[in-house]
Amino acid sequence: MKRNVTFLRALITSSLIFISFLSFSQSVDNEVIMNLGFERWVSDGPFKGEPEHWHGISSASGTYKGLLTKPQMEMSRITRPGSDGNYSVRLFPRSIFGVVVNGTFTNGRVNAGSMIPDNKEDNYAYTCRVSPDFSTPINIVPDSVALWVCFRAKEQSSEANFVAVVHGDADFRYSGPGYSSPQDSVCAVAGPCHFTRSSPANSNEFKWKRISIPFVKNYDVEPRYILFLFSTNKTAGGGSSKDELFIDDIELIYNKK
Distance CA 164, CA 147 (A): 11
Distance CA 145, CA 36 (A): 11
Contact 35, 47 (CB under 8 A): no
Cα dist. 61→52, 114, 126, 157, 166 in Å? Answer: 18, 11, 10, 31, 22
pLDDT tens-digit map of 86-133: 999 999 999 888 888 899 999 999 999 888 888 889 999 999 999 999
The region that residue 12 occupies, defined by phi over 0 for left and psi between -120 and 50 for alpha, beta otherwise, is alpha
Question: Average pLDDT for residues 167-175, to the nearest whole number?
Answer: 97
Give burial (CB, 10 Å; 0-12/13-18/19+) of 140. middle
Neighbour count for residue 248 (Cβ, 10 Å): 23
Contact 240, 191 (CB under 8 A): no
- What pLDDT is stored for residue 194 in this prediction? 97
Distance CA 1, CA 16 (A): 23
pLDDT tens-digit map of 216-239: 998 899 999 999 999 999 998 898
pLDDT tens-digit map of 58-88: 899 998 887 766 789 999 999 999 999 999 9
- DSSP H helices, the chain, are 2-33
> pTM, whole model, 2 decimals?
0.86
